Chains A and B, each alone.
Chain A
Amino acid sequence: MSKAILEMRNISKAFGGVKALDDVRLTVRAGEIHALMGENGAGKSTLIKVLTGVHGRDGGTIEFDGRAISPRSPKEAEAHGISTVYQEINLIPTLSVAENIMLGRQPKSFGIIRWQAMRRQAARALARLGLELDVTRELRSCSIAIQQLVAIARALDVQAKLLILDEPTSSLDEQECAALFDVMRRLRGEGLAILFVTHFLDQVYAMTDRITVLRNGEVVGEFETSGLPRLELIGKMLGRELKEEARATKNVAGRVPEEARESSVPVLEVKALGRRGAMHPVDLRIGEGEVVGLAGLLGSGRTEMARMLFGADRPDSGEIRVRGEVASLPSPRKAIRRGLAFCPEDRKAEGIIPNLSVRENLVLALQASRGPARLLARAEQLQIVENYIRLLDIRTPGTEAPIRNLSGGNQQKVLLARWLALQPTLIILDEPTRGIDVGAKAEIERLVASLREKGMSVLFISSELEEVVRVSQRVIVLRDRRKVGELGGDDVNEHSIMSLIAGHGTDHNVKPRGA
Chain B
Amino acid sequence: MTKEDSTPTRPRVFAALRSFFIRHPSLQRLIWPLAGLGLLVLFNLMFDRAFFEITTRDGNLYGPVMTILRLAVKVMLLAIGMTLVIAAGGVDLSVGSVMAVAGALVAYLSTQGDWPFAALLGVAVLVALVAGAFNGTLVAFAGLQPIVATLIMMVLGRGLALSITGGLPISVQDPGLEFLGRGFVAGIPAPILLVVAVVVITGIACRMTALGLFIEAVGDNENASRMSGVNARGIKLFAYVFCALCAALAGLVTVGDVGRVEPDRLGQMLELDAITAVVVGGTVLTGGRFSLVGSIVGALLIQTLTVTLIRQGMPSDVAPVPKALVIIAVCLLQSPRLRAQLAAWRSGVRRVGA
**Bitwise interface map of A from 145 to 182 toward B, beta carbon under 8 Å scored 1, else 0:** 00000000000000000000000000000000000000
Q: Do B210 and A350 touch (CB < 8 A)?
A: no
Judge if A333 is at the interface, Cβ distance under 8 Å: yes
Q: Do B228 and A365 touch (CB < 8 A)?
A: yes
Judge if B328 is at the interface, Cβ distance under 8 Å: no
Judge if A447 is at the interface, Cβ distance under 8 Å: no
Q: Do A342 and B227 touch (CB < 8 A)?
A: yes
- Closest CB in chain A relative to B195 CB, distance in Å: 24
Q: With A356-B217, A360-B213 known to touch, is A369 a contact of B229 (CB < 8 Å)?
A: yes
* A residues near B229, Cβ cutoff 8 Å: 332-333, 336, 365, 368-369
Judge if A353 is at the interface, Cβ distance under 8 Å: yes
Q: With A332-B229, A354-B221, A355-B220 known to touch, is A367 a contact of B288 (CB < 8 Å)?
A: no
Query: CA–CA, A418 to B210, complex, Å?
Result: 16
Q: Do B227 and A353 touch (CB < 8 A)?
A: no
Judge if A134 is at the interface, Cβ distance under 8 Å: no
CB closest chain-A residue, reference B211: A372
Q: Do B217 and A360 touch (CB < 8 A)?
A: yes
Judge if A375 is at the interface, Cβ distance under 8 Å: yes
Q: Do A368 and B209 touch (CB < 8 A)?
A: no
Q: Do B227 and A312 touch (CB < 8 A)?
A: yes
What total of chain A residues lie within 8 Å of the partner, measured CB to CB? 31
Interface residues of B in 277-321 (CB under 8 A from A): 288-289
Query: CA–CA, A400 to B216, complex, Å?
Result: 15
Query: CA–CA, A371 to B210, complex, Å?
Result: 8
Judge if A489 is at the interface, Cβ distance under 8 Å: no
Q: Do A364 and B288 touch (CB < 8 A)?
A: no
* B residues near A369, Cβ cutoff 8 Å: 229
Judge if A508 is at the interface, Cβ distance under 8 Å: no
Judge if B60 is at the interface, Cβ distance under 8 Å: no
Judge if A438 is at the interface, Cβ distance under 8 Å: no
Judge if B224 is at the interface, Cβ distance under 8 Å: yes
* B residues near A312, Cβ cutoff 8 Å: 227
- Choose from B216, B221, B231 the contact partner of A352 (Cβ within 8 Å): B221
Q: Do B220 and A354 touch (CB < 8 A)?
A: yes
* A residues near B209, Cβ cutoff 8 Å: 372-373, 375
* B residues near A344, Cβ cutoff 8 Å: 227
CB closest chain-A residue, reference B238: A372
Q: Do A351 and B227 touch (CB < 8 A)?
A: yes
Q: Do A367 and B213 touch (CB < 8 A)?
A: yes
Judge if B240 is at the interface, Cβ distance under 8 Å: no
CB closest chain-A residue, reference B208: A375
Q: Do B231 and A333 touch (CB < 8 A)?
A: yes
Q: Do A372 and B227 touch (CB < 8 A)?
A: no
Judge if A349 is at the interface, Cβ distance under 8 Å: yes
Q: Do B208 and A364 touch (CB < 8 A)?
A: no
- Closest CB in chain B relative to A480 CB, distance in Å: 26
- Choose from A342, A354, A367 the contact partner of B210 (Cβ within 8 Å): A367
* A residues near B225, Cβ cutoff 8 Å: 353, 364, 368
- Closest CB in chain A relative to B123 CB, distance in Å: 28
- Closest CB in chain B relative to A16 CB, distance in Å: 16
- Closest CB in chain A relative to B80 CB, distance in Å: 18
Q: Do A355 and B213 touch (CB < 8 A)?
A: no
Judge if B223 is at the interface, Cβ distance under 8 Å: yes
CB closest chain-A residue, reference B230: A368
Judge if A370 is at the interface, Cβ distance under 8 Å: yes
Q: Do B288 and A332 touch (CB < 8 A)?
A: no
* A residues near B214, Cβ cutoff 8 Å: 367-368, 372
* A residues near B223, Cβ cutoff 8 Å: 349-350
- Closest CB in chain A relative to B228 CB, distance in Å: 4
**Bitwise interface map of A from 327 to 368 toward B, beta carbon under 8 Å scored 1, else 0:** 000011100100000101000011111111000100011011
Q: Do A364 and B228 touch (CB < 8 A)?
A: yes
Judge if B25 is at the interface, Cβ distance under 8 Å: yes
- Closest CB in chain A relative to B140 CB, distance in Å: 14
In the complex, which of the residues B213, B220, B224, B229 has the most CB atoms of chain A within 10 Å of its own CB atom? B229
* B residues near A333, Cβ cutoff 8 Å: 226, 229-231
**Bitwise interface map of A from 294 to 335 toward B, beta carbon under 8 Å scored 1, else 0:** 000000000000000010100000000000000000011100
CB closest chain-A residue, reference B233: A331
- Choose from B208, B213, B220, B227 the contact partner of A350 (Cβ within 8 Å): B227
- Closest CB in chain A relative to B340 CB, distance in Å: 14
Q: Do B217 and A364 touch (CB < 8 A)?
A: yes
* A residues near B210, Cβ cutoff 8 Å: 367-368, 370-376
Q: Do B228 and A418 touch (CB < 8 A)?
A: yes
Query: CA–CA, A336 to B228, complex, Å?
Result: 8
CB closest chain-B residue, reference A336: B229
- Closest CB in chain B relative to A340 CB, distance in Å: 10
Q: With A353-B220, A370-B210 known to touch, is A332 a contact of B289 (CB < 8 Å)?
A: no
In the complex, which of the residues B217, B223, B227 has the most CB atoms of chain A within 10 Å of its own CB atom? B227
Q: Do B217 and A353 touch (CB < 8 A)?
A: yes
CB closest chain-B residue, reference A402: B25
Query: CA–CA, A152 to B216, complex, Å?
Result: 43
Q: With A364-B213, A370-B210, A372-B211 known to touch, is A332 a contact of B220 (CB < 8 Å)?
A: no
- Closest CB in chain A relative to B54 CB, distance in Å: 40
Q: Do A364 and B221 touch (CB < 8 A)?
A: no
CB closest chain-A residue, reference B214: A372
* B residues near A400, Cβ cutoff 8 Å: 25
- Closest CB in chain B relative to A419 CB, distance in Å: 9
- Closest CB in chain B relative to A53 CB, distance in Å: 23
Which A positions have Cβ atoms within 8 angstroms of B? 310, 312, 331-333, 336, 342, 344, 349-356, 360, 364-365, 367-376, 400, 418
The 7 closest A-B pairs by CB, nearest first: A368-B229, A336-B229, A365-B228, A368-B230, A372-B210, A353-B221, A353-B220
Residue contacts A-B, CB under 8 angstroms, 30 given = A332-B227, A332-B228, A333-B226, A333-B230, A344-B227, A349-B223, A350-B223, A352-B221, A353-B216, A353-B221, A353-B224, A354-B221, A355-B220, A355-B289, A356-B213, A356-B220, A360-B213, A364-B213, A367-B210, A367-B214, A368-B210, A368-B229, A370-B210, A371-B210, A372-B209, A373-B210, A375-B209, A375-B210, A376-B210, A418-B228
Known: A349-B224, A356-B213. 18 other contacts (CB 8 A): A312-B227, A332-B227, A333-B229, A336-B229, A352-B224, A353-B224, A354-B221, A355-B216, A356-B217, A356-B289, A364-B213, A364-B230, A365-B228, A367-B210, A368-B229, A372-B214, A375-B209, A418-B228
